[in-house]
């Protein structure tokens, strides 16, 4: 029994009749090509997004040093920074005691991230709790 003349499959490029198996194979090859193109496009988009995402923070650079508050000792400045949840690293430019030392600059370093309980107390979330702060004194 031959197939109905209207149900014959024809190759668009050559114009020749295809069997059902050949048509299925052709569709499978087309799907493989589309899958490969989709995968390559997704990978390229991922690399582009990663490149752009990492370029922003790198372009920002470090913060410029801030002058320390006038009229207070280095010990007072350090105590105030620690009270705000910061970890202070002191860079001394002399042997003067901190009570008598002058603050030359205050620079912000990396954020300190810790897990803390949420408001309901049933889940822990990663939150910035302070910063590393560098204080130059002399």
Over the stretch 39-68, which tens digit does the pLDDT of each residue have?
A: 677 777 766 666 666 555 544 445 455 555
* Residue 63 token pair: 């913060």
pLDDT at residue number 45 = 72
Pairing verdict, β 124-137 and 87-92: parallel
Using CA atoms, how far residue 61 sits from 55, 103, 105, in Å, is 11, 23, 18
Look at residue 107 and give its three-state secondary structure. strand
Over the stretch 81-110, which tens digit does the pLDDT of each residue have?
A: 999 999 999 999 989 999 999 999 999 999
pTM over 0.85: no
Residue 107 burial (CB count, 10 A):
17
């Amino acid at each position: 029994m031959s197939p109905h003349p209207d149900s014959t499959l024809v190759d668009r490029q050559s114009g020749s009749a295809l069997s059902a198996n050949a048509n299925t194979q052709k569709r499978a090859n087309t799907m493989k090509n589309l899958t490969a193109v989709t995968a390559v496009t997704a990978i390229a988009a991922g690399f582009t997004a990663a490149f752009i995402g990492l370029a922003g923070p790198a372009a920002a650079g470090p913060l410029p040093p801030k002058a320390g508050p006038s009229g207070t000792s280095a010990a007072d400045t350090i105590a105030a920074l620690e009270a705000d949840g910061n970890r202070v690293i002191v860079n001394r430019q002399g042997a003067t005691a901190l009570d008598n030392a002058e603050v030359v600059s205050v620079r912000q370093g990396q954020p300190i991230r810790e897990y803390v309980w949420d408001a309901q107390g049933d889940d822990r979330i990663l939150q910035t709790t302070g910063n590393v702060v560098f204080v130059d004194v002399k």
